[in-house]
Chains A and B, each alone.
Chain A
Amino acid sequence: MLSIRNLSVHYGGIHALRGISLDVPAGKIVTLIGANGAGKSTTLNSIMGLVKAGSGSVSWNGEEMLGRQTKRIVESGIVLVPEGRRVFPNLTVDENLTLGAFARHDKAAIEADREHVFKLFPRLKERHKQKAGTFSGGEQQMLAVGRALMSRPTVLMMDEPSLGLAPLFVGMIFDIIRQINAEGVTVLLVEQNAKAALDVADTGYVMETGSISFSGTGKDLLADDRVRKAYLGEG
């Protein structure tokens, strides 16, 4: 269980997170939805140690993660698929995947995981020697997810995985999220595509300007009037 308590982050004078608290139970899919600038990405980046948080607590199975180096956080099983398909464009698919396992040293298991990623994304196997920069947006997103899986995560955090993808790929990405979760990986998903995210999620949190305004199960939130008005464009 990943539990976040009173997490606050300042960027210069901007109060990006105003003491948020949320729980990500093991084996579940949790989603954070909200408008641009609500602090969703900041939440993920500070869990990952990429943003130095001001105060609060991020505990993972009782261990405090806040203030640790990103490398240690990756080693403890939490990994982030960053926003905007940040693959390494001049490196091949193989090299990208190998870098995903940078924090690991168990060679044989890494190769097994590579085969597993290729099974999830057969397109990557076909082009494993090709440079990632030559791929389409959707393929790059798959590579970014595959690369994250190479660290053998117990918690996979994804920042807007469907952003700017063709509808076909959006569907595929959400199928993959379900599949990864079914294999036992806990997922913390940040999305603007609230409908699709709440469809797959066990729990959803709605963020507004740096704080969490309300939460509920995915189903409940899909039926909630406030969510329907603000994020689903209905009523």
Chain B
Amino acid sequence: MNMSPVLHDTQRRDRMLTIGAALLGLALLFVFDSMFDPFTMQIFKLCAINIILALSLNLINGFTGLFSLGHAGFMAVGAYTCAILSMSPDQKAANYVLQPIVPWLANVHLPFLPSLLVAGLFAGFIGWILGIVALRLRDDYLAIATLGFSEIIRVLLTNAQTITNGSLGLKGLPRYTTMWWAWGSAIAITIFLVLLIKSSYGRAFKSIRDNEIAAEAMGIDVFGMKVLSFTISSALAGIAGGLLAHYLTTIDPKQFIFLKTFDILLIVVLGGVGSITGSVVAAIVVTVSMEALRFLDGPLNLGFMVTHGIPGLRMVFFSALLMIVVIYRQQGLMGTAEFSWASLSRIGLLPKRSSKEAAR
């Protein structure tokens, strides 16, 4: 629109800042990779996986305005798909002790990248099917239906013993999820979502969230867009599940109970429903503090009394935090706003505009 040369200056400055920040981030990854001990590194990787999970849940809940609680199910689909595809036939023979794996899967052995992509595609496919059925529902009904779906997945995983090894789970998965895989995927998916939200599809998602009837009257295929958003969200959750499987190296159906969905929902709500920046920041903060607050679970000397360790006390902190946010700052950290260099200059961390522009 307004392409005056002065505005161009700010744009160029912002582009330089973005490139600079990206290089700095890359350098930081290198430094962390060599500096951190393995335990810290694990948490650092988990941050990246949680970013993907939070972003994918935010796409459906925050940007499209559909209250879905099926994320644990899609993660499970992705985790199992990726694990089964990437295990070697020998590992499979060692794992499936009670009942052997079905023959058509026994000799499948794919590298990590194709396994991960198939995991995403398959989770997306399941999301597409569920979407076509469940997205006729709205609000709480949709939440209940998707929650139920996620539990169905878990029950299926427990009982399809010849495919999933049932409640024994899968152990000794290769530790493929290095820092580069975790953060590489997180960064790629973040960029993909930023571009998606800025595209006409993203605008259509947001218009459905804001006012479904008006969106329909504008000629937007509301149902089709909802299914699309749901499918993408499920596929990304599947990829995160695959990364998680090869991060933990052990998976079993119990990991994917519906409480897992609420862990992600916590991140989304704290960060801001409808903000990519918010989800990224909150995913890092929550993941790090989950570990940093581990001392709360151990013996505590409160001065007037000494506890002998209450497992799960650190979760009380997050419950309290969630209550405070819901009461005093419903929009979360960012609301629906996003980080931009312009917002930095508004709060005075960057010069407002170049002198030339000010003279205008």
Interface contact B207-A88, CB-CB below 8 Å: yes
Question: Does A5 count as interface, using CB distance less than 8 angstroms?
Answer: no
A196 interface residue, CB < 8 Å from B? no
A141 to chain B, nearest CB (A): 12
With A103-B218, A147-B218: A50-B213 Cβ-Cβ less than 8 Å: yes
A69 and B221 form a contact (CB under 8 A): yes
Q: How far is the CA of A80 from the CA of B215 in the complex (A)?
A: 11
Among B241-298, those with CB < 8 Å from A are: 274
B213 adjacent to A99 (CB under 8 Å): no
- Asked if A203 is an interface residue, CB under 8 A from chain B, the answer is no
Q: Any chain A CB within 8 A of the CB of B204? A: yes
Contact B211 A99 (CB under 8 A): no
Quick check: A71 and B221 within 8 Å, CB to CB?
yes
Q: Given A91-B203, A102-B204, do A71 and B219 touch, yes or no (CB 8 Å)?
A: yes
Task: Assess the B210–A88 pair: CB atoms within 8 A.
Answer: yes
A-B contact list, 20 entries, CB within 8 Å: A71-B219, A74-B219, A82-B214, A86-B211, A88-B214, A88-B215, A90-B209, A90-B336, A91-B207, A98-B200, A99-B204, A99-B215, A99-B220, A100-B218, A102-B200, A102-B203, A102-B204, A102-B220, A103-B218, A103-B219
A73 to B217 Cα, complex, angstroms: 10
Q: When the two chains form their complex, are residues B216 and A70 in contact, meaning their CB atoms are under 8 A apart? A: yes
CB pair B218 A102 closer than 8 Å: yes
Contact A80 B200 (CB under 8 A): no
Closest Cβ neighbor of B202 among chain A residues: A95
B211 interface neighbour in A75, A80, A88, Cβ under 8 Å:
A88
Closest residue of chain B to A147 (Cβ to Cβ) is: B218
> Among B203, B211, B218, which residue has the most Cβ atoms of chain A within 10 A?
B218
Residues 64-103 (chain A) with a chain B CB within 8 angstroms:
69-71, 73-75, 79-80, 82, 86-91, 95, 98-100, 102-103
The answer, among B203, B219, B220, B221, for a CB contact under 8 Å with A75, is B219
Residues of A within 8 Å of B, CB-based: how many? Answer: 27
Q: Is B154 in contact with chain A by the CB < 8 A criterion?
A: no
A80 vs B213: C-alpha distance when bound (angstroms): 11
Q: Does B206 contact A (CB under 8 A)?
A: yes
Given contacts A99-B207, A102-B200, contact A50 B217 (CB under 8 A): yes
Give the 8 A-B CB pairs with smallest separation, nearest first: A74-B219, A86-B214, A88-B210, A103-B219, A71-B219, A86-B211, A80-B217, A88-B207
Is the CB–CB distance between B210 and A89 below 8 Å?
yes
**Is A177 an interface position by the 8 A CB rule?**
no
CB proximity of B276 to chain A, nearest CB, Å: 15
| Known contacts A86-B211, A86-B213, A90-B274; is-contact A151 B336 (Cβ 8 Å) | no
Chain A residue, CB-CB nearest to B204: A102
Query: For the complex, what is the distance from the CA of A71 to the CA of B216, rounded to whole Å?
Result: 8
Known: A90-B206, A102-B204. A74 touches B218 (CB 8 A): yes
A144 to B215, CA, bound (A): 12
The distance in angstroms between the C-alpha atoms of A163 and B215, with both chains bound, is 20
A82-B219 Cα distance, complex, nearest whole Å: 12
Residues of chain A within 8 A (CB-CB) of B204 are 99, 102
Beyond known contacts A74-B219, A88-B214: 12 more, CB 8 A cutoff: A70-B216, A75-B219, A82-B213, A82-B214, A86-B217, A88-B206, A88-B210, A89-B211, A91-B206, A91-B207, A100-B218, A144-B214
* Contact call A102/B211, Cβ cutoff below 8 A: no
A187 within 8 A of B: no
Question: In B209-244, which residues have CB < 8 Å from any A CB?
Answer: 209-211, 213-221
CA of A151 to CA of B218, assembled, Å: 8
Give Cα distance in the complex from A91 to B218, angstroms.
15
Identify the interface centre among B207, B211, B214, B216: most chain A CB within 10 Å of its CB.
B214
Interchain nearest-CB distance for A53 vs B (Å): 15
**Per a CB cutoff under 8 Å, which of B209, B211, B274 touches A87?**
B211
- Max count, chain B CB within 10 A of own CB: residue among A48, A69, A86: A86
Residues A73 and B219 in contact, CB atoms below 8 Å apart: yes
Chain B residue numbers with a CB within 8 Å of A50 are 213, 216-217
Q: Which residues of B contact A70 (CB under 8 A)?
A: 216-217, 219
In the complex, which residue of chain A has the Cβ closest to the Cβ of B65?
A90
Name the B residues within 8 Å of A82 (CB-CB): 213-214, 217
Please name all residues of chain B whose beta carbon is closer than 8 Å to the beta carbon of A103 when the two chains form the complex.
218-219
When A89-B210, A90-B206, A90-B274 are in contact, do A99 and B218 touch as well, CB less than 8 Å? yes
Set of chain B residues within 8 Å of A71, measured between Cβ atoms: 219-221
Across-interface contacts of B1 in A (CB, < 8 A)? 111
Most buried by B among A90, A100, A103: A90
* Nearest chain A residue, comparing its CB with the CB of B214: A86
Q: Which residue of A lies closest to B211 (CB)?
A: A86
Q: Which residue of B lies closest to A111 (CB)?
A: B1
Q: How far is the CA of A75 from the CA of B210 in the complex (A)?
A: 23
A201 to nearest B CB, angstroms?
22
CB-based contact A99/B203 at 8 Å: yes
Inside 8 A of A48's CB, which chain B residues have their CB?
Answer: 217
The answer on a CB contact under 8 Å between A90 and B218 is: no
Query: A80, A91, A99, A111 — which one has the most chain B CB atoms within 10 A of its CB?
Result: A99
